[in-house]
Amino acid sequence: MPTPPDTAPSSTLPPVVHLRQGGTSVVLDVHSADQPVIVHWGEDLGELDADELAGITRGAVPQRVSGGLDETGRLTILPQASGGWLTSPGLEGDRSGRDFSSRLTLHDAIIDDVSARFWLRDTEAQLSVVSEIIVGAGGAVRQRHTLTNLGDAPYRLQSLQLGFPVPSSARELLTTTGHHLRERSPQRSAFTVGGHVRESRRGRPGADATLVVVAGTPGFGFERGLVHGVHLAWSGDQRMTAERTPTGDSVIWAGELLTAGEITLTTGESYASPWAVGSWGDGLDTFAARFHDELRARAQHPRRPRPVTLNTWEAVYFDHDLPTIQALADRAAQVGVERFVLDDGWFRGRRGETAGLGDWYVDEDVWPDGLAPLIDYVTGLGMEFGLWVEPEMVNPDSDLARQHPDWILRARGELPRPGRQQQVLDLSNPDAYAYLSERLNALLDEYDIAYLKWDHNRDLLEPGGGAGAGFRGHANVLALYRLLDELKAKHPGLEIESCASGGSRVDLGILEHTDRIWTSDCLDPIERLDIQRYTGLVVPPEMMGAHLTSPVVHSTGRTASLELSAITALFGHFGIEWDLTREDDETLSRIAAWVSVHKDAREMIATGRRVHADLADPSLDLRGVVAADGSRALFSLTQVTTSAFHPPAPVTLPGLDDERRYRIGLIAPDGAGGHPGQSTLAWSETSVVMSGRTARTAGLRPPMQYPQSAALIEAVALD
């Protein structure tokens, strides 16, 4: 990053900056305050001349009011009390009580059509900040601050927040919460004056963390309603705040949540905040599409078809032996699986959850000839081989913990309270890092492993470097990112899944270094509807693990039909979590038919736009994916509960091209579906033709179904 200049503000900087890309405009007033002010973020305003730009910025300047300061403070890109900003500041820190208040002013900038980098400096407090704003290919907006200590004394950073102003029309908030097996559960509230704060202090975002903070017009849905929202691309502690001020400003803040003394900058040292990413749209589907487009535009985004994956966990748990797992591999290949993943239980001493974590050597008692016989068998069947690991964790009952107790995160002599009978390694410790790097690289060098399922099964408590040492949360996240990148650089083509007690580490920070997330340990298709819907606000479907489950769901005990489970999993990175050796040929044939449906649709799912209908009937769920060119779409219609309407009222199909005509029909590859007590729908066997506009507005009567069942609808353009 270029060195901040020592000169006064450049007179050549334009008074107004207009960034545009992907249907988004960002307009910044550069000179009317100490720092630039974002005066518009949202709909593309088109080509604007100097007079129009000046009008936008002048129209945004607040007047002086009685009882206030002589000049009303502005919501700048890093607002401060020195500029008259009287609510949450962008920067907090000090030098043992000195320099607690900074006055960072604009000194220079580099600007192009889609990005701006501003240099801010306080010569008295000896601080500088580089603030970056980028409008991405999909129209999402990224922000980051980098703070540098230019003084002789250390500077203790308390917080560095990134602010996204939102329109005054945004009077309702959406965040997510949850717990293990029910991640990203939505909650709504009024957006009133004051701050709505969501924090995560678990060392990872956690199952209860909010994936986004969205502010929108009251009653906004997936199809309509203006929304603006922010996600923090960080895999550790964080704070997200929606704040409405008495001055009429509304802002969403995002930043890393730092512990006292965690970041102390010495002379010349810098701290870079995580990226915060904002999106907007008319409806949550448009909002989500910007995130998906951003991810898909990256060079490292997975391009090849997502392999249909079978994971062994719910089939064998810890009971590993070669003949049993070979038999499971046979069934997997029979139904069309392309990637076979051996889950927990393969390494030394791992006969249950209480021992072995950290001893990353193949267990000679269970696998006397190593993993080669199994891997050769799996690859001989035409499948890739994947392996489960949990490198950040350690059981106290392990050789690693006994030999290196100093590698375990702790705040004092005693260990933190256990979770799942395990503790957490300090990846920021060079020796611990070197051990994990050596062990993982040794496995990848020896065996033909195409995929790592990387788990993280507990929250962090008191994550210090040992008695008398400091907090290690920030350092461990950076070490994790470095380790993931190192493994992928040394083993080209290796794919890694981020799993964390299911979906407890889902963020764009971890997805910069991995290839998919495990959405949830809950495979109950009814529970998965909301989990996948709200995870998809940020994560595109091809990066969300979604698997078929056994008829009796492991996590809830619910009985689920194959059709419901398959259709729910269809709109993700499809896989299977099921002991197929217990099923007969007819069931295996039905599973194979659904695998075939997914393979036929997965390119469209990985490149198209996901849609959700805002239906009036709460008993129904209708969602789908529309091809990027509008030529085809698949929709799932789930009868979640019984309906007040009998037969059901018409449902609408969103996202199709208004001007094109489509043939719309049902897909039932295994011959199941429908309600035997009802007559056949007029269109269900012969299909129906209608325009995209008609499907979106008039709709059509859905098939009658039992509660907790689903139907798959296909629309194919005729022209």
Mean pLDDT score across all residues of the chain = 96
pTM of this prediction exceeds 0.75: yes
2-11, 207-216, 382-391: least confident range: 2-11
* 7 confidence band (pLDDT: 50, 70, 90): very low
Domain that holds residue 587: 301-309+519-601
Q: How many structural domains comprise the chain?
A: 4
Query: Do 390 and 509 fall within a single domain?
Result: yes
Residues 6 or more apart in contact with residue 159 via CB below 8 angstroms: 91, 92, 93, 239, 255, 257, 258
pLDDT score of 8? 44
| CATH code, domain with 197 | 2.70.98.60
Last residue of some domain: 582, 601, 620?
601
Report the distance separating Cα 625 and Cα 303, nearest Å: 18
Give the CA-trace dihedral at 33, 36, 39, 45, to 10 degrees.
140
pLDDT surpassing 60 at residue 3: no
Query: Do 512 and 462 fall within a single domain?
Result: yes
Tokens representing 640 are 């979640």
449-497: pLDDT as tens digits: 999 999 999 999 999 998 778 999 999 999 999 999 999 999 999 999 9
pLDDT score of 672? 66
Query: Do 501 and 524 fall within a single domain?
Result: no
60-111: pLDDT as tens digits: 999 999 999 999 999 999 999 999 999 999 999 999 999 999 999 999 999 9
Report the distance separating Cα 624 and Cα 622, nearest Å: 7
Query: Do 482 and 428 fall within a single domain?
Result: yes
| CATH code, domain with 483 | 3.20.20.70
Whether 121 maps to a domain, the answer reads yes
Last residue of some domain: 517, 548, 583?
517
Query: Do 116 and 258 fall within a single domain?
Result: yes
Residues 6 or more apart in contact with residue 205 via CB below 8 angstroms: 211, 234, 235, 236, 238, 504, 505, 506, 507
Whether 329 maps to a domain, the answer reads no
pLDDT score of 675? 72
Query: What amino acid occupies position 602?
Result: R
* 2 confidence band (pLDDT: 50, 70, 90): very low
Query: Do 446 and 535 fall within a single domain?
Result: no
Report the distance separating Cα 594 and Cα 602, nearest Å: 12
Query: What 3-state DSSP class applies to 207?
Result: coil
pLDDT score of 521? 98
349-408: pLDDT as tens digits: 999 999 999 999 999 999 999 999 999 999 999 999 999 999 999 999 999 999 999 999
Regarding predicted confidence, which is higher, 5 or 397? 397
Whether 683 maps to a domain, the answer reads yes
pLDDT score of 682? 82
* 10 confidence band (pLDDT: 50, 70, 90): low
Query: Do 481 and 494 fall within a single domain?
Result: yes
Last residue of some domain: 538, 571, 601?
601
CA angle, 164 then 608 then 620, to 5°: 85
Mean pLDDT, rounded, for 547-551 = 97
pLDDT surpassing 90 at residue 185: yes
Mean pLDDT, rounded, for 253-274 = 97
Q: Which residues are catalytic?
A: 455, 521
Query: Do 176 and 216 fall within a single domain?
Result: yes
Query: Do 591 and 636 fall within a single domain?
Result: no
Helix (H) or strand (E) holding 58: helix 50-58
175-184, 289-298, 458-467: least confident range: 458-467
